[in-house]
Amino acid sequence: MYIKVCGVMAKKVASKSRKKIVSPKSVSTGRNLVIVESPAKAKTISHFLGRNYLVKASFGHIRDLPKSRMGVDTEHDFQPNYGVSKDKLKVITELKTAAAGAPFVWIATDEDREGEAIGWHLVEALHVKSSDVKRIVFHEITEEAIRAALSNPRNIDKDLVDSQQARRILDRLVGYELSPLLWKKVRWGLSAGRVQSVAVRLIVEREREISAFKPEEYWDITAIFHKIASAHVVSSVDAEPFPAALFKKGDIEVALTNGTDSENVVKALQGASYSVQNIEQKEVRKSPPPPFITSTLQQEASRKLGFSVKKTMVLAQKLYEGVAIGQKRSGLITYMRTDSVHLAESALAEAREVISRVFGAKYALEIPRRYKSGKGAQEAHEAIRPTAFSLLPSEIKSSLERDEYRLYELIWNRAVASQMPVALLQRVSVDILASKGGYVFRANGQTVAFDGYRKVYVEAGAKKDQVDRLLPHLEKNEALDLQSLSPAQHFTKPPARYTEASLVKKLEELGIGRPSTYAPTISTIMNRGYVAKEEKSLKPTDTGMVVTDVLIEHFPEIVDYMFTAQMEEDLDLIAEGKKEWVPIIRQFYDPFHKLITEKMKTIQRSDVISEKSSEVCDKCGSQMMVKLGRFGKFLSCSRYPECKNARPLKTGKEDVEKGKILTELEKKLANKKCDKCGKPMVIKVGKYGEFLGCSGYPECKNIQPIVKFTGVSCPKCHAGQLVERRTKKGGRVFYGCNKYPKCHFAVWDFPVKTPCLKCQGLMVEKKSGVVCTQCEAKQ
Between CA 404 and CA 396 the distance in angstroms is 11
pLDDT level of residue 12 (50, 70, 90 thresholds): very low
Closest by alpha carbon to 330, among 47, 137, 613, 54? 47
Mean pLDDT of the chain: 87
For range 531-555, the mean pLDDT: 91
Q: pLDDT at position 766, please?
A: 82
Instruction: Write the CA distances from 712 to 720, 722, 755, integer angstroms.
Output: 9, 6, 10
The residue type of 748 is W
pLDDT confidence tier of residue 1, bands split at 50, 70 and 90: very low
* DSSP character string of 646-710: EEE---SHHHHHHHHHHHHHHHHTTT-B-TTT-PBEEEEEETTEEEEEETTTTT---EEE---EE
pLDDT of residue 490: 92
pLDDT tens digit string along 617-628? 888 888 888 887
Per-residue pLDDT at 509 exceeds 70:
yes
Residue 687 has pLDDT above 80, yes or no: no
pLDDT-derived band at 115 (thresholds 50, 70, 90) equals very high
- Closest Cα to residue 59, out of 91, 86, 32, 33? 91
pLDDT value of position 25: 39
What's the pLDDT at 652? 52
Cβ neighbors of 269 (< 8 A, separation 6 or more) are 434, 436, 437, 439, 485
Question: For residue 226, how many C-alpha atoms fall within 13 Å in the half-sphere facing its CB?
Answer: 12
126 pLDDT more than 70? yes
Model confidence at 380: pLDDT above 90: no
Q: Give the span between the Cα atoms of 740 and 721, in whole angstroms.
A: 10
pLDDT for the residue numbered 755: 86
pLDDT at 381: 80
**Of 190-204, 401-415, 648-662, minimum mean pLDDT range:** 648-662
Alpha-carbon distance of 427 to 424, in angstroms, equals 10
* b (16+ CB within 10 A) / e for 578-605: ebebeebbeebbeebeebbeebeeebee
> What integer pLDDT is reported at residue 208 of this predicted model?
94
pLDDT beyond 60 at 659 = no
| CA atoms of 669 and 736, how far apart (whole Å) | 22
Distance, in Å, from the CA atom of 192 to the CA atom of 86, rounded to the nearest integer, reads 27
pTM: 0.77
Q: What is the pLDDT of residue 466?
A: 56
> Mapping DSSP to helix (H, G, I), strand (E, B) and coil, where does residue 92 land?
helix
Rounded to whole angstroms, how far apart are CA atoms 135 and 365?
37
Given a contact cutoff of 8 angstroms between Cβ atoms, the answer to whether 652 and 706 are in contact is no
pLDDT number for residue 327: 83
Average pLDDT estimate for 260-279: 95
Side chain identity at residue 199, one-letter code: A
Is the pLDDT confidence value at 171 over 90?
yes
Q: How confident is the model over 551-591, as pLDDT tens digits?
A: 999 999 999 999 999 999 999 999 999 999 999 999 999 99
Give me the pLDDT at residue 619, please.
Answer: 85
pLDDT at 646: 81
CB within 8 Å of 375: residues ≥ 6 apart: none
Judged against a pLDDT cut of 90, whether residue 432 lies above it is answered with yes
Secondary element (H or E) of residue 173: helix 158-185
pLDDT digits (tens, 9 = 90+) for 58-91: 999 999 999 889 999 999 999 999 999 888 999 9
Judged against a pLDDT cut of 90, whether residue 213 lies above it is answered with yes
pLDDT of residue 660: 54
First to last CA, the chain: 60
Residue 420 has pLDDT above 90, yes or no: yes
Active-site residue set: 335
Separation of alpha carbons 47 and 183, rounded Å: 51
Question: Is residue 14 over pLDDT 70?
Answer: no
CA gyration radius for the chain?
33
Rounded distance, CA 380 to CA 672, Å? 70
pLDDT at 647: 78
Buried/exposed code over 443-472 (b: 16+ C-beta within 10 A; e: otherwise): bebbebeebbbbbbbbbeeeeebeeeebbb
Percent pLDDT > 70 in the chain is: 90
The answer to whether the CB of 293 falls within 8 A of the CB of 515 is yes
pLDDT at 313: 95
Q: Are 140 and 48 within 8 A, CB to CB?
A: no
State mean pLDDT over 766-776: 82
Q: How far apart are CA 305 and CA 721, in angstroms?
A: 34
Percentage of the chain exceeding pLDDT 90: 65
Look at residue 127 in the predicted model and tell me its pLDDT.
92
Q: CB neighbours of 776 closer than 8 A, spacing ≥ 6?
A: none
